[in-house]
């Protein structure tokens, strides 16, 4: 069985994984992404909990007891796109890698240059930013060249040269000052990526990712949060209030994606 229980703890945990709830959520046909992701609300946060099970990153290929922001979204997507437990790992591999076989160099490390284009090409996501933002849509770019890949944060990825994405990448964002207005009407289950100001010493402008839901008509971000130490449903207004004061890396807006079955 692919569904794994949380590791035993010395004291009662605040959250425990319930396989029966996940199996029931996977059987739903409507709002499946919201249903499966809800099972993990309260699950603990852990940085980079998934790997290739061998080689450079020996973390498991799949787990249900620990998440960071991206692995929470990837796992929820894989579960929502799978018809059975046996399909989850192959679908998750499709989402996480640019090749059929998992390997650290083939992983989609950079969101705007690898993860998004790879999953758009496979038909797993569709960019709906312009559709949701309307006339308020703004285009942004990120240039990845030798200078970007020579920065410390890029070197820390320890990627071989031929696995380093290069070029100028452009995409749409919903500006942060218009976000609450437009996301009130956006569909539940929309994937939300947080786009910050460009910094040449960083290899990405996308710092965070979560799933849009609504509570009493208000937009919430369901995400694995380092600040809270777990997966939470946070009012989007509160998320913005917490992050807009971070002058070192300003939030400029959100890019938005619908999850699709190929």
Taking the model in full, what pTM does it have? 0.93
pLDDT of residue 237: 95
pLDDT exceeds cutoff 60 at 4:
no
Q: Determine the 3-state secondary structure of 196 from DSSP.
A: strand
Q: Are 35 and 21 in contact (CB under 8 A)?
A: no
Domains and CATH numbers, the chain: 19-259 (2.30.260.10)
By the 10 Å C-beta count (0-12 exposed, 13-18 middle, 19+ buried), 247 is classed as: exposed
All residues at 6 or more sequence positions from 174 whose CB lies less than 8 Å from its CB, including other chains? 129, 132, 133, 136, 137, 138, 182, 183, 253, 254, 255, 256
The confidence band for 246, taking pLDDT boundaries of 50, 70 and 90, is low
Question: Which is higher by pLDDT, 243 or 179?
Answer: 179
At 89-122, the pLDDT tens digits run 999 999 999 988 999 999 999 999 999 999 999 9
pLDDT exceeds cutoff 90 at 8:
no
């Amino acid at each position: 069985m692919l569904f794994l229980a949380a590791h035993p703890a010395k004291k009662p945990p605040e959250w425990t994984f319930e396989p029966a709830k996940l199996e029931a959520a996977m059987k739903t046909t409507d709002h499946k992404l919201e249903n499966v992701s809800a099972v993990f609300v309260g699950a603990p946060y852990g940085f980079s909990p998934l790997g290739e099970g061998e080689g450079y990153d020996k973390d498991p290929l799949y787990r249900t007891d620990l998440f960071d922001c991206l692995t929470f979204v990837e796992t929820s997507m894989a579960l929502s796109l799978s018809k059975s437990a046996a399909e989850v790992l192959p679908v998750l591999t499709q989402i996480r890698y640019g090749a059929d076989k998992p390997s650290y160099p083939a992983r989609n490390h950079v969101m705007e240059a690898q993860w998004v284009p790879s999953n758009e090409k496979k038909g797993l996501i569709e960019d709906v930013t312009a559709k949701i933002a309307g006339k308020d849509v703004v285009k942004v770019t990120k240039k990845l060249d030798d200078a970007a890949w020579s920065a410390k944060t890029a070197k820390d990825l320890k990627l071989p040269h031929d696995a380093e994405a290069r070029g100028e990448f452009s995409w749409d964002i919903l500006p942060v000052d218009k976000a609450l207005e437009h996301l009130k009407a956006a569909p539940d289950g929309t994937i939300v990526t947080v786009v910050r100001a460009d910094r040449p010493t960083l290899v990405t402008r996308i710092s965070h990712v979560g799933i849009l839901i609504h509570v009493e008509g208000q937009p919430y971000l369901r995400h694995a949060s380092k600040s809270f130490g777990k997966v939470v449903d946070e009012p989007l207004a509160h998320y913005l209030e917490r992050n807009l004061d971070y002058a070192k890396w300003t939030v400029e807006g959100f890019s938005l994606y619908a999850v699709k079955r190929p």
